[in-house]
Structure 1
Amino acid sequence: MDDESDTSKASPKDVGAVFNAVQILACLAASTKPMGVAAVARASGVSTSTCFNILRTLTRARYVAFHHAEKTYSLGLAIAELAAGLIGTSPTALIRPEMERLALKHGMLVLLWRITEDDHVILVDRAHSQSAIRVEISIGFRMPALAGAVGRSIAAALDLPAAELSRRFKPLRWQSSPGFDTYRSEVAAARNCGWAIDKSNLYNGIISIGTVICDASGAPRFGLSGVCIAGQYSEETLHSFGQDLLEVASIASKSLYPKTKQ
């Protein structure tokens, strides 16, 4: 089996060997102990022969360490050297490149919100395309945590009892309120698909799509959203953006709040 046959999950634009190497490194990072070639191959979906050759190459480059006695592999010193460059980097700086990519791909204003301890969210960063017509929101803008699309996703992550959700919904101010029953069903939908949408509820004529970045315990720490003028995009495009936004949030969650190995 060659590299091409091992990359069925890769995009047509991906380089097969690189994709396989990343899959292998991800498997080693997720493991609580060193792994043999066969185990890495099974976990990564890369053929044993290709896996062996990639592991041998990564070992020479010190991205993987080989344990001679057990004939197993684990992450190597060069991985730590790479990660050292990220130590002390703010979450905003780490997420911004992905925000810019989404803004350019979809032509939307993409926002990063920090969830505060007083039940609000504050806008801490934004990225936009060069589109002539767009929504504008200033850094530092503050709103109740459970409002809008991000708010629905925060509520979904918190998994609040109906009575508590109702209590926290009542003081929210909407230009066109969805009503509690609709809001509650949209929170449930966000829990299932990972992102939520607000269609002109919070602000008339404005559509927002939002999700959350959670820590290792599942608690929401940041919100990510895209904002556009109603009627600019088809339902298919909005759904595609929601899926892309969720992917970025999932990667950010794992990167910023890695789970401790047991």
Structure 2
Amino acid sequence: MSKELGLNVSTTHRIVRALVSEGYLAQNEDSERYYLGTGALLLGQAAHRNFGLDVVYPVLQQVAASTGESVNLGVLSGDTAVVVERIESAKPLRFTQPPGTRVPLHASSMGKVLLAFNAETEQRMLRGVKRLEQLTPNTFGTPKELRSELERTRARGWSIDNEELTQGVRCVGAPICDGAGIARAAIAIQAPAVRVPDERFDELGPVAMRAAKEISALLPPGHTF
């Protein structure tokens, strides 16, 4: 732990002891390994409420029920989108992407709407970049290709991930915007590619867009993720 933090052992030990005393960490008496304590659980619950997830969750549930597919809510975090809430598909064949998962902006449906509807983020990410990381054969490899895709995304109002992040997985995404129309979060519907032929994009995309607009309307003015 001290090596990962770049701190000496005695300093790391003091920090760990402080976290234990406040309940954020606990220690297994047999293995002596540390794990998250009840303080971390309570902190997570507070963050859940502050994010507005209590309001958002029923919308995600409705989308999952109507489509039969997994639904993600993600927010911008640096140069990635991070999953903060997820409803899993009840179908046995599904792709797992638990909360806390980070996905690249250029190769995910959530990331693409966070770029397409947030000009500042798009400019910051693509400034001076010549090549984008090729994660699958379908990943857009240059800023020029990605910008063309973002134009198509803006025209539709929703994005497509055509096995660009993970082969065998297709997704659509839609932006959750603030009052100025800037994307602050995103919703994604995710499914195995075998259940999403090309024509189903046109079914799922509008569903994601309607849900994203509903979430935007439910959140109080000035809410930030």
Which letter does structure 1 place at the counterpart of 2:145?
T
Q: 2:176 matched to which residue of 1?
A: 213
Letter in 1 for 2:141: G
Is the CA contact (8 Å cut-off) linking 1:146 and 1:169 kept in structure 2? no
- For the residues of structure 1 that align with 2:119 and 2:130, how far apart are their CA atoms? 14
- Alpha-carbon distance change, 212 to 172 in structure 1, aligned in 2, over 3 angstroms: farther
Aligned to 1:243: 206
Provide the residue aligned with 2:102 in structure 1: 142
Counting only pairs closer than 5 Å after superposition, residues 48-67 of structure 1 correspond to structure 2 as none
SS in structure 1 of the partner of residue 194 of structure 2 = coil
Residues 205-253 of structure 1: per-residue CA shift (max 9 Å, x gap): 1111111111112222111101111121233322111101101111211
Pair 1:197 & 2:160 matched: yes
- 1:179 matched residue in structure 2: 141
Paired residues of 1:100 and 1:128 also in contact (CA < 8 A)? no
| CA distance in structure 2 between the aligned counterparts of 1:142 and 1:158, rounded to whole angstroms | 18
Structure of greater Rg: 1
Q: Which deviates more, 123-132 or 171-180?
A: 171-180
Mean Cα deviation higher: 138-147 or 219-228: 138-147
- Kindly state the Cα deviation for residue 135 of structure 1 after the two structures are TM-superposed: 0.8
Q: Deviations over 1:142-197 (max 9, x none)?
A: 13334311121111112367796364573545222223343222110111111110
Residue in 1 that maps onto 2:115: 155
**Paired residue total:** 171
Give the superposition deviation at 1:119.
Answer: 2.6
Q: Following the alignment from structure 2 to structure 1, what is the Cα–Cα distance between the partners of residues 105 and 164?
A: 15
TM-score scaled by length of structure 2: 0.67
- Work out which structure has the larger RCO, using CA pairs closer than 8 Å and 6 or more positions apart in sequence: 2
Identify which of 126, 131, 134 aligns with 1:165: 126
Pair 1:222 & 2:164 matched: no
Residue 96 of structure 1 and its aligned partner are, at CA, apart by 1.2
- Per the alignment, residue 197 of structure 2 pairs with 234
Name the TM-score, length of structure 1 as normaliser.
0.58
- d(CA) in 1 for partners of 2:145, 2:99: 30
What 5-or-longer segments of structure 1 have no aligned partner? 1-87
1:93 aligns with 2:19: no
Query: SS where residue 137 of structure 1 aligns?
Result: coil
CA offset digits 1:62-101 (Å, max 9, x no partner): xxxxxxxxxxxxxxxxxxxxxxxxxx66421211111111
**Equivalent AA in structure 2 for residue 227 of structure 1:** Q
